Amino acid sequence: MAVSIKSEREIEFMRQAGKLLAKVHEELGKIIKPGISTWEINKTGEELIRSCDCIPNFLNYHGYPASVCVSVNEEVVHGIPAKDRILKEGDIVSLDAGLIYKGYHSDAARTHFVGTVDPRIQKLVEETKNSFFAGIKMAKPGNHLYDISNAIDAYISQFGYGIVRDLVGHGIGTNLHEDPQIPNFKQKRRGLKLQPGMTLAIEPMINLGRADVKWLSDDWTVVAEDGLPSAHYENTILITEGEPEILTIL
Ligand code: MF3
Ligand code: CO
Protein backbone atom coordinates (compact mmCIF):
# COMPACT_ATOMS: atom_id res chain seq x y z
CA MET A 1 0.00 0.00 0.00
CA ALA A 2 1.64 3.22 -1.17
CA VAL A 3 0.40 6.28 0.68
CA SER A 4 1.72 9.48 -0.86
CA ILE A 5 3.37 12.15 1.27
CA LYS A 6 2.86 15.57 -0.29
CA SER A 7 5.66 18.09 -0.59
CA GLU A 8 5.19 21.69 0.59
CA ARG A 9 4.57 22.71 -3.03
CA GLU A 10 1.93 20.02 -3.51
CA ILE A 11 0.30 20.97 -0.22
CA GLU A 12 -0.14 24.53 -1.51
CA PHE A 13 -2.05 23.18 -4.54
CA MET A 14 -4.13 20.94 -2.27
CA ARG A 15 -4.94 23.97 -0.10
CA GLN A 16 -6.09 25.92 -3.15
CA ALA A 17 -8.15 22.98 -4.43
CA GLY A 18 -9.73 22.70 -0.99
CA LYS A 19 -10.57 26.40 -0.58
CA LEU A 20 -12.14 26.59 -4.02
CA LEU A 21 -14.30 23.55 -3.27
CA ALA A 22 -15.34 24.98 0.10
CA LYS A 23 -16.55 28.07 -1.74
CA VAL A 24 -18.49 25.92 -4.22
CA HIS A 25 -20.22 24.17 -1.32
CA GLU A 26 -21.02 27.47 0.35
CA GLU A 27 -22.66 28.74 -2.84
CA LEU A 28 -24.57 25.49 -3.37
CA GLY A 29 -25.91 25.65 0.17
CA LYS A 30 -27.59 28.95 -0.71
CA ILE A 31 -29.69 27.51 -3.55
CA ILE A 32 -31.14 24.59 -1.58
CA LYS A 33 -34.86 25.16 -1.14
CA PRO A 34 -38.15 23.39 -1.86
CA GLY A 35 -38.88 23.32 -5.60
CA ILE A 36 -35.31 23.06 -6.92
CA SER A 37 -34.40 19.98 -8.97
CA THR A 38 -31.34 17.89 -8.22
CA TRP A 39 -30.29 18.50 -11.85
CA GLU A 40 -30.26 22.26 -11.25
CA ILE A 41 -28.01 21.77 -8.23
CA ASN A 42 -25.56 19.77 -10.32
CA LYS A 43 -25.64 22.32 -13.13
CA THR A 44 -24.88 25.18 -10.74
CA GLY A 45 -22.13 23.12 -9.11
CA GLU A 46 -20.47 22.35 -12.41
CA GLU A 47 -20.62 26.02 -13.44
CA LEU A 48 -19.09 27.12 -10.14
CA ILE A 49 -16.27 24.59 -10.49
CA ARG A 50 -15.50 25.55 -14.09
CA SER A 51 -15.71 29.28 -13.33
CA CYS A 52 -12.62 28.99 -11.12
CA ASP A 53 -10.69 27.19 -13.88
CA CYS A 54 -11.06 23.85 -12.19
CA ILE A 55 -12.25 20.50 -13.52
CA PRO A 56 -15.11 18.52 -11.93
CA ASN A 57 -13.41 15.26 -10.96
CA PHE A 58 -16.60 13.23 -10.50
CA LEU A 59 -17.84 13.82 -14.07
CA ASN A 60 -17.25 10.60 -16.05
CA TYR A 61 -15.40 9.04 -13.10
CA HIS A 62 -15.97 5.32 -13.82
CA GLY A 63 -18.85 6.57 -15.95
CA TYR A 64 -20.59 8.69 -13.30
CA PRO A 65 -22.72 11.12 -15.37
CA ALA A 66 -22.60 14.35 -13.29
CA SER A 67 -20.30 16.73 -11.41
CA VAL A 68 -22.14 16.73 -8.08
CA CYS A 69 -23.60 13.65 -6.41
CA VAL A 70 -27.03 14.66 -5.10
CA SER A 71 -28.55 12.16 -2.66
CA VAL A 72 -31.98 12.74 -1.12
CA ASN A 73 -33.31 11.27 2.16
CA GLU A 74 -32.71 7.48 2.15
CA GLU A 75 -30.12 7.88 -0.62
CA VAL A 76 -26.74 7.57 1.07
CA VAL A 77 -24.36 8.70 -1.68
CA HIS A 78 -23.85 8.83 -5.47
CA GLY A 79 -27.40 9.92 -6.29
CA ILE A 80 -27.67 10.92 -9.96
CA PRO A 81 -29.12 14.41 -10.55
CA ALA A 82 -32.38 14.45 -12.53
CA LYS A 83 -34.65 17.21 -13.86
CA ASP A 84 -37.73 15.50 -12.44
CA ARG A 85 -36.30 15.01 -8.95
CA ILE A 86 -37.63 18.02 -7.09
CA LEU A 87 -36.70 18.76 -3.48
CA LYS A 88 -39.58 19.29 -1.08
CA GLU A 89 -40.02 20.73 2.39
CA GLY A 90 -38.73 18.32 5.03
CA ASP A 91 -36.22 16.53 2.79
CA ILE A 92 -32.53 16.30 3.51
CA VAL A 93 -30.08 16.40 0.62
CA SER A 94 -26.42 15.38 0.58
CA LEU A 95 -24.19 17.14 -1.92
CA ASP A 96 -20.87 15.49 -2.65
CA ALA A 97 -18.55 17.42 -4.96
CA GLY A 98 -14.93 17.52 -5.96
CA LEU A 99 -12.60 19.38 -8.27
CA ILE A 100 -9.11 19.36 -9.75
CA TYR A 101 -6.88 22.41 -9.42
CA LYS A 102 -3.47 22.24 -11.14
CA GLY A 103 -3.65 18.47 -11.07
CA TYR A 104 -4.64 18.21 -7.40
CA HIS A 105 -7.99 16.88 -6.21
CA SER A 106 -10.31 17.98 -3.44
CA ASP A 107 -13.43 16.15 -2.26
CA ALA A 108 -16.10 17.24 0.24
CA ALA A 109 -19.73 16.56 1.12
CA ARG A 110 -22.41 18.42 3.06
CA THR A 111 -25.95 17.42 4.01
CA HIS A 112 -28.49 20.24 3.86
CA PHE A 113 -32.01 20.66 5.22
CA VAL A 114 -34.76 21.51 2.76
CA GLY A 115 -36.98 23.90 4.69
CA THR A 116 -37.96 22.57 8.11
CA VAL A 117 -36.84 19.03 8.86
CA ASP A 118 -38.05 16.57 11.53
CA PRO A 119 -35.88 17.12 14.65
CA ARG A 120 -34.84 13.45 14.71
CA ILE A 121 -33.46 13.80 11.19
CA GLN A 122 -31.85 17.16 12.03
CA LYS A 123 -30.01 15.41 14.82
CA LEU A 124 -28.82 12.66 12.47
CA VAL A 125 -27.32 15.30 10.17
CA GLU A 126 -25.68 17.22 13.03
CA GLU A 127 -24.22 14.13 14.68
CA THR A 128 -22.86 12.90 11.35
CA LYS A 129 -20.94 16.17 11.07
CA ASN A 130 -19.85 15.90 14.72
CA SER A 131 -18.55 12.38 14.08
CA PHE A 132 -16.20 13.77 11.42
CA PHE A 133 -14.78 16.13 14.06
CA ALA A 134 -14.47 13.27 16.57
CA GLY A 135 -12.50 11.36 13.94
CA ILE A 136 -10.21 14.15 12.83
CA LYS A 137 -9.18 14.83 16.44
CA MET A 138 -7.14 11.64 16.10
CA ALA A 139 -5.52 12.67 12.80
CA LYS A 140 -2.06 13.42 14.17
CA PRO A 141 1.45 11.99 13.80
CA GLY A 142 2.03 9.31 16.41
CA ASN A 143 -1.52 8.05 15.98
CA HIS A 144 -2.61 5.35 13.56
CA LEU A 145 -5.14 5.47 10.77
CA TYR A 146 -7.73 3.36 12.53
CA ASP A 147 -7.70 5.66 15.56
CA ILE A 148 -9.77 7.88 13.24
CA SER A 149 -12.14 5.01 12.35
CA ASN A 150 -12.53 3.96 15.97
CA ALA A 151 -13.25 7.52 17.14
CA ILE A 152 -16.00 7.95 14.55
CA ASP A 153 -17.52 4.61 15.56
CA ALA A 154 -17.32 5.38 19.28
CA TYR A 155 -18.96 8.77 18.74
CA ILE A 156 -21.82 7.46 16.60
CA SER A 157 -22.48 4.34 18.68
CA GLN A 158 -24.06 6.36 21.50
CA PHE A 159 -26.97 7.29 19.20
CA GLY A 160 -27.75 3.83 17.82
CA TYR A 161 -27.39 4.97 14.22
CA GLY A 162 -26.18 2.63 11.48
CA ILE A 163 -22.65 3.32 10.25
CA VAL A 164 -22.40 2.50 6.55
CA ARG A 165 -19.69 -0.14 6.04
CA ASP A 166 -19.79 -0.66 2.29
CA LEU A 167 -18.21 2.71 1.51
CA VAL A 168 -15.17 4.33 3.14
CA GLY A 169 -12.98 7.43 3.17
CA HIS A 170 -9.73 7.52 1.23
CA GLY A 171 -6.40 9.11 0.52
CA ILE A 172 -6.50 11.92 -2.07
CA GLY A 173 -3.96 13.88 -4.09
CA THR A 174 -3.15 13.64 -7.79
CA ASN A 175 -5.95 11.07 -7.85
CA LEU A 176 -9.44 11.33 -6.36
CA HIS A 177 -9.08 7.99 -4.64
CA GLU A 178 -5.70 6.97 -3.29
CA ASP A 179 -4.59 4.61 -0.56
CA PRO A 180 -5.39 4.22 2.25
CA GLN A 181 -9.04 3.29 2.65
CA ILE A 182 -10.54 4.84 5.79
CA PRO A 183 -13.43 2.89 7.31
CA ASN A 184 -15.86 4.76 9.55
CA PHE A 185 -16.32 1.81 11.90
CA LYS A 186 -14.22 0.08 14.53
CA GLN A 187 -11.16 -1.85 13.34
CA LYS A 188 -9.31 -4.66 15.04
CA ARG A 189 -5.87 -3.47 13.91
CA ARG A 190 -4.25 -0.04 14.27
CA GLY A 191 -3.57 0.54 10.57
CA LEU A 192 -0.72 2.61 9.22
CA LYS A 193 1.07 5.29 11.16
CA LEU A 194 -0.08 8.81 10.31
CA GLN A 195 2.58 11.16 8.94
CA PRO A 196 2.73 14.88 8.11
CA GLY A 197 1.99 15.46 4.42
CA MET A 198 -0.72 12.81 4.12
CA THR A 199 -3.95 14.15 2.64
CA LEU A 200 -7.10 12.21 3.44
CA ALA A 201 -10.81 12.45 2.66
CA ILE A 202 -12.70 11.50 5.82
CA GLU A 203 -16.36 10.92 5.13
CA PRO A 204 -18.77 9.34 7.60
CA MET A 205 -22.02 8.09 6.03
CA ILE A 206 -24.57 7.51 8.78
CA ASN A 207 -28.05 5.96 8.61
CA LEU A 208 -30.89 6.79 10.97
CA GLY A 209 -31.82 3.11 10.94
CA ARG A 210 -29.80 0.06 10.05
CA ALA A 211 -26.37 0.18 8.41
CA ASP A 212 -27.32 -2.00 5.43
CA VAL A 213 -27.33 -0.41 2.01
CA LYS A 214 -28.20 -1.53 -1.50
CA TRP A 215 -27.52 -0.21 -4.99
CA LEU A 216 -30.37 0.95 -7.24
CA SER A 217 -30.60 -0.40 -10.79
CA ASP A 218 -28.75 2.70 -12.11
CA ASP A 219 -25.69 1.01 -10.51
CA TRP A 220 -24.76 4.25 -8.74
CA THR A 221 -27.32 5.36 -6.21
CA VAL A 222 -26.64 3.79 -2.81
CA VAL A 223 -29.72 3.73 -0.56
CA ALA A 224 -30.44 2.65 3.00
CA GLU A 225 -32.09 -0.76 2.71
CA ASP A 226 -34.69 0.09 5.36
CA GLY A 227 -35.65 3.30 3.55
CA LEU A 228 -34.77 5.58 6.48
CA PRO A 229 -32.79 8.83 5.96
CA SER A 230 -29.01 8.90 5.69
CA ALA A 231 -26.49 11.73 6.14
CA HIS A 232 -22.99 12.33 4.76
CA TYR A 233 -20.28 14.78 5.78
CA GLU A 234 -16.82 14.87 4.21
CA ASN A 235 -13.71 17.04 4.14
CA THR A 236 -10.27 16.71 2.63
CA ILE A 237 -7.72 17.11 5.42
CA LEU A 238 -3.95 17.42 5.79
CA ILE A 239 -1.91 15.73 8.51
CA THR A 240 0.62 18.21 9.91
CA GLU A 241 3.20 18.10 12.70
CA GLY A 242 0.52 19.60 14.94
CA GLU A 243 -3.23 19.89 14.56
CA PRO A 244 -4.75 18.57 11.32
CA GLU A 245 -5.73 21.14 8.73
CA ILE A 246 -9.17 20.93 7.14
CA LEU A 247 -8.57 21.93 3.52
CA THR A 248 -12.19 22.08 2.33
CA ILE A 249 -13.53 24.72 4.70
CA LEU A 250 -13.35 28.50 4.36
N1 MF3 B 1 -16.78 11.66 -2.83
C2 MF3 B 1 -17.07 10.45 -3.53
C3 MF3 B 1 -16.30 9.34 -2.94
O4 MF3 B 1 -15.25 9.56 -2.41
C5 MF3 B 1 -16.73 10.51 -4.96
C6 MF3 B 1 -17.82 10.06 -5.79
S7 MF3 B 1 -17.20 9.47 -7.25
C8 MF3 B 1 -18.48 9.60 -8.32
O9 MF3 B 1 -16.74 8.22 -2.99
F10 MF3 B 1 -18.11 8.97 -9.36
F11 MF3 B 1 -19.56 9.11 -7.80
F12 MF3 B 1 -18.67 10.82 -8.58
CO1 CO C 1 -14.69 10.96 -1.00
Instruction: Report whether residue 107 contacts ligand 1, using a CB cutoff of 6 Å.
Output: yes
**What would the pLDDT profile of 184-194 be if each residue is shown by its tens digit?**
999 999 999 99
Instruction: Report whether residue 182 contacts ligand 1, using a CB cutoff of 6 Å.
Output: no
H or E element, residue 197: none
Provide the CATH number for the domain formed by 8-240 in this structure.
3.90.230.10
Give whole-number Cα distances, 18 to 49, 57, 236, in Å: 12, 13, 7
pLDDT value of residue 28? 98
Give whole-number Cα distances, 250 to 24, 75, 85, 133, 247, in Å: 10, 27, 30, 16, 8
**What would the pLDDT profile of 7-52 be if each residue is shown by its tens digit?**
999 999 999 999 999 999 999 999 999 999 999 999 999 999 999 9
Tally the C-alpha atoms within 13 A of residue 242's C-alpha that lie toward its C-beta: 1
**What would the pLDDT profile of 66-86 be if each residue is shown by its tens digit?**
999 999 999 999 999 999 999
**What would the pLDDT profile of 106-128 be if each residue is shown by its tens digit?**
999 999 999 999 999 999 999 99
**What would the pLDDT profile of 204-219 be if each residue is shown by its tens digit?**
999 999 999 999 999 9
**What is the spatial distance between Cα 228 and Cα 179, in angstroms, rounded to a whole number?**
31
Query: Would you kindly state where each structural domain of the chain is located, as residue ranges?
Result: 8-240
**What would the pLDDT profile of 141-158 be if each residue is shown by its tens digit?**
999 999 999 999 999 999
Taking Cα atoms as reference points, which of 189, 146, 196, 190 lies closest to residue 168?
146
Kindly indicate the confidence band of residue 1, based on its pLDDT and cuts at 50, 70 and 90. Answer: low
The residue nearest atom 7 of ligand 1, judged by CA position, is 58
Q: Which residues surround ligand 2, an ion (CB under 5 A)?
A: 107, 201, 203
